[in-house]
Amino acid sequence: MSLNYIKNFYEGCVKPPTVIGQFHTLFFGSIRMFFLGVLGFAVYGNEALHFSCDPDRREINLFCYNQFRPITPQVFWALQLVIVLVPGATFHLYAAFKSISQECILQKPIYTVVYIVSVLVRISLEVISFWLQIHLFGFQVTPLYLCDAGSLGGKFTIIKCMVPDHFEKTIFLIAMYTFTVITMVLCVAEVFEIIFRRLCFLIKQ
C-alpha cells in the first residue's frame, strides 16, 4: 500500500504526462536552477561589497545600492522559480494523492482541462515575471549609476556610483531572459501536445 503510494507520488509529482512537459521539468528544474544557484552567486554574490560611490562612504554606498537594487536579482529569480513551480506542483500533488496516472490525465476531460489550466497559469506567471524583470533590471547593466542622494541632506544631490562586473551581469541578464522565453515556448508547446494527444485518443475510440 505504502509502496504504491510512493510510486504514484513519484509518477505524479516528477513526470508530467507529456514529453515536452518532461523536458520542461528537466530544463526548468536542473539547468535553470543550476545556472542561477552556481553562476548567479558567482556574478552577484559580492555586488553590494564592491558597489562604490563618490564620495566613497559606507552610508552613501548602502543608500545608493538600495536605490540601484530595490530587490537583488538572485532573490527575484529565486522567487520567480518558486512561484512558477506552484501551479504544476499543486496539480501533481493532487494527482499523487488521488492516484491519478499519467494516462488518466490525457484520457479524462476534467483532468486534461485542469492540467492545461495549470500550464496556462504557469505561462501567465512567466509573462508577469518577464515584464517585472524588464521593469526592474532592463536589458543592460551600465558601468555607471547616477544616484539621487538629495534625501540624505548632504551637499551632493546626484552621486556617481560604479557598478562592478557590469559586462558579466549584462550577459547573465540576457541568459535569464532567454531561459524565461524558452520555458514559455515549452509551456505553449506542451499545451499543443496535450490537445494533439487528446484528439488522437478520441479518434482511436
Which residues are CB-neighbours of 45 under 8 A, at least 6 positions away?
none
Contact 175, 137 (CB under 8 A): no
Chunked mean pLDDT (size 10), the chain, 205 residues: 42 59 72 77 79 84 88 86 84 77 76 87 91 89 86 74 88 88 88 82 72
The pLDDT value recorded for residue 6 is 39
DSSP per-residue string spanning 100-157: --HHHHHHSHHHHHHHHHHHHHHHHHHHHHHHHHHHHH-S---SEEEEE-GGGTSS-S
Matching residue, cell 556574478 = 43
Other C-beta atoms lying within 10 Å of the C-beta of residue 154: 13
End-to-end CA distance of the chain: 32
The model scores a pTM over 0.85: no
Q: Where are the domains of the chain?
A: 19-204
pLDDT at 29: 67
Task: Collect all residues with Cβ–Cβ distance below 8 Å to 144 and sequence separation of at least 6.
Answer: 160, 161, 162, 163
**Domain 19-204, CATH among 1.20.1740.10, 1.20.1440.80, 1.20.1600.10, 1.10.10.60:** 1.20.1440.80
Q: What pLDDT, on the 0 to 100 scale, is given for residue 17?
A: 65
Q: What kind and span of H or E run contains 167?
A: helix 166-204
